[in-house]
C-alpha cells in the first residue's frame, strides 16, 4: 500500500529530529563563552555579586596616631613589602599610588623594598615621593639568593629544557627559580624584617580598586588571622609534579605536624579538575595567588614551616621543576595551620593580570563587579574559589 506523501514527509522529519537529538546528546560541546562581569559557570552563585561590606570582627579606624610622625603610633610592627627591580619602577609606582589612595594614606605603614642588586637613586627618590610613609631599601644577602650548592647545574639545564617543551612559563629563567625560592623560604629571614611580624606583599603593575577604612594589619592581629588572600587558582600541574609526593614524604616523617583543623580536602580535591589531581600526583593544585598576600611571619618562622621548607629545598624542586611560592605557601597553610585562621579579603578590590577580585561595594571604582578575568573565557576554569568555599567557607 502506498504511503501518502504528507505522511512520508512527517516520517522523514521525525527521523531527522531524532538524529539531531542523538547528535546533541553525544557530540562534543563547544566551550561556553562567559559574559564578563557575570557569574562564572563553575558557580551556582558567585558571592562576589552579593553586597560586600567590611569583615566581621574587631576593626580599628584611622586616627591622629596613624600620622607619619605620630608619637606613640597606633601602627603595629608591619610593613608593605615588595621584591622589585630598578627597571620595574614605573609599575611599582602605579601599584603604590593605588594602594596609597585606597588605604595607606590613612595608616602610613612603611614600605620595604627588596632587590638582589642595590636600588638606584631614581628608584629611591620617586618611590618616596608617592607616600608620606617611610621607605626602606634593602639588598638581599647573596646566601639568600644564590643557587644552593647542592643543585646540579647540568641537571637543572636538562630539566628546564623538558619544562620549556611542556610549555611551562619562565622555566628557563634562573632568576625566576631564585625568586620563587626566596619568596617561599627566605624573605622573612632578612635582617631588616627581624622586628616585623606582619607584611602585605605588593608587586609592580597590580591594581587596587576599593577604599579600605580599617587597619588591615590590626585586623589580622586582633582577629587571630595568619594569612589573607584575594584570588584562589589552579596551578600548572606539569610545573610541580613532585611537589605533592615530596610533601607526603615529609608528612610520613612528621605526621604530628598536621593540624587537626586542616584544609587537606581543598588540597586533594579531584572532583572538579581530576586531570590536575592526576598530573600533580594527588594535589589539586589549588593555591592562594601569592602576588597578593597579607601574612603573619610567625608562621613562616615556626619550626614546622622551617622543617617543611628545608625538606623541599633539599629535594631541589625549586630548580629541577618550577615550584612556586604560591603552591608551597598554600600547601603549608592547608596542612599545618588552622583553616579558620586563613581569611578571604573579599572587600579588597584587586587585579593582577589577568585575574580580579572585584566586590559589589560602593567603595570600589574601576573594576566590574564579580568579574574574575577580562581574558579568554577558558580562564574561568582556573578559579579554585568554589573549592575553598566548599571545604572551608567564605570567612
Query: Using an 8 Å Cβ cutoff, are 198 and 294 in contact?
Result: yes
Q: Between the CA of residue 123 and those of 187, 204, 206, what are the distances in Å?
A: 21, 13, 18
- Helices then strands, each counted (H, E), the chain: 16, 12
Distance between CA atoms of 221 and 296, rounded to whole angstroms? 8
Catalytic annotation present for 90: no
293, 321, 337, 382: which one is catalytic?
A: 293
Which residues neighbour 38 within 8 Å (Cβ) at sequence distance 6 or greater? 49, 370
Cell reading at 202: 605588593
- Residues 233, 110, 341, 281: is their CA dihedral positive or negative? positive
Three-class SS state of 367? coil
User: Before 145, cis peptide (omega within 30)?
Assistant: no
Distance between CA atoms of 342 and 287, rounded to whole angstroms? 12
E strand or H helix at 334: helix 325-336
**Catalytic positions, please?**
293
Amino acid at each position: 500500500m502506498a504511503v501518502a506523501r504528507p505522511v512520508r514527509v512527517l516520517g522523514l522529519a521525525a527521523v531527522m529530529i531524532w538524529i539531531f537529538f542523538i547528535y546533541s546528546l553525544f557530540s562534543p560541546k563547544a566551550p561556553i563563552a562567559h559574559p564578563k562581569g557575570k557569574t562564572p559557570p563553575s558557580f551556582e552563585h558567585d558571592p562576589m555579586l552579593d553586597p560586600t561590606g567590611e569583615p566581621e570582627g574587631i576593626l580599628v579606624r584611622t586616627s591622629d596616631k596613624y600620622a607619619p610622625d605620630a608619637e606613640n603610633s597606633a601602627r603595629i610592627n608591619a610593613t608593605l613589602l615588595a621584591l622589585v627591580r630598578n627597571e620595574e619602577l614605573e609599575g611599582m609606582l602605579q601599584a603604590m599610588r593605588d594602594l596609597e589612595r585606597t588605604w595607606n594614606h590613612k595608616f602610613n605603614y612603611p614600605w620595604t623594598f627588596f632587590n638582589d642588586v642595590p636600588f638606584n637613586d631614581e628608584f629611591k627618590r620617586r618611590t618616596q615621593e608617592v607616600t608620606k610613609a617611610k621607605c626602606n631599601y634593602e639588598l638581599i644577602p647573596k646566601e639568600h639568593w644564590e643557587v644552593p650548592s647542592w643543585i646540579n647545574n647540568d641537571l637543572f639545564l636538562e630539566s628546564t629544557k623538558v619544562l620549556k617543551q611542556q610549555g611551562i612559563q619562565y622555566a628557563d629563567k634562573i632568576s625566576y627559580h631564585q625568586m620563587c625560592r626566596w619568596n617561599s623560604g627566605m624573605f622573612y629571614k632578612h635582617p631588616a624584617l627581624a622586628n616585623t611580624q606582619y607584611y602585605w606583599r605588593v608587586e609592580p603593575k597590580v591594581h587596587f580598586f576599593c577604599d579600605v577604612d580599617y587597619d588591615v594589619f590590626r585586623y589580622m592581629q586582633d582577629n587571630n588571622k595568619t594569612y589573607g588572600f584575594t584570588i584562589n587558582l589552579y596551578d600548572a600541574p606539569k610545573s610541580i609534579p613532585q611537589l605533592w609526593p615530596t610533601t607526603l614524604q615529609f608528612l610520613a616523617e612528621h605526621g604530628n605536624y598536621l593540624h587537626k583543623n586542616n584544609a587537606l580536602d581543598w588540597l586533594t580535591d579531584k572532583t572538579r579538575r581530576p586531570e590536575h589531581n592526576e598530573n600533580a600526583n594527588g594535589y589539586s593544585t589549588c593555591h592562594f595567588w601569592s602576588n597578593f598576600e597579607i601574612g603573619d611571619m610567625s608562621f613562616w618562622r615556626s619550626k614546622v614551616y622551617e622543617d617543611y621548607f628545608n625538606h623541599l629545598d633539599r629535594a631541589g624542586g625549586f630548580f629541577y621543576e618550577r615550584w612556586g611560592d604560591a603552591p608551597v605557601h598554600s600547601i603549608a597553610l592547608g596542612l599545618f595551620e588552622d583553616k579558620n585562621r586563613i581569611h578571604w579579603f573579599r572587600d579588597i578590590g584587586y587585579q593582577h593580570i589577568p585575574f580580579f577580585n572585584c566586590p559589589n561595594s560602593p567603595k570600589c571604582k574601576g573594576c566590574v563587579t564579580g568579574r574574575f578575568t577580562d581574558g579568554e573565557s577558558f580562564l574561568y576554569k582556573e578559579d579554585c574559589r568554589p573549592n575553598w568555599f566548599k571545604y572551608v567557607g567564605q570567612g
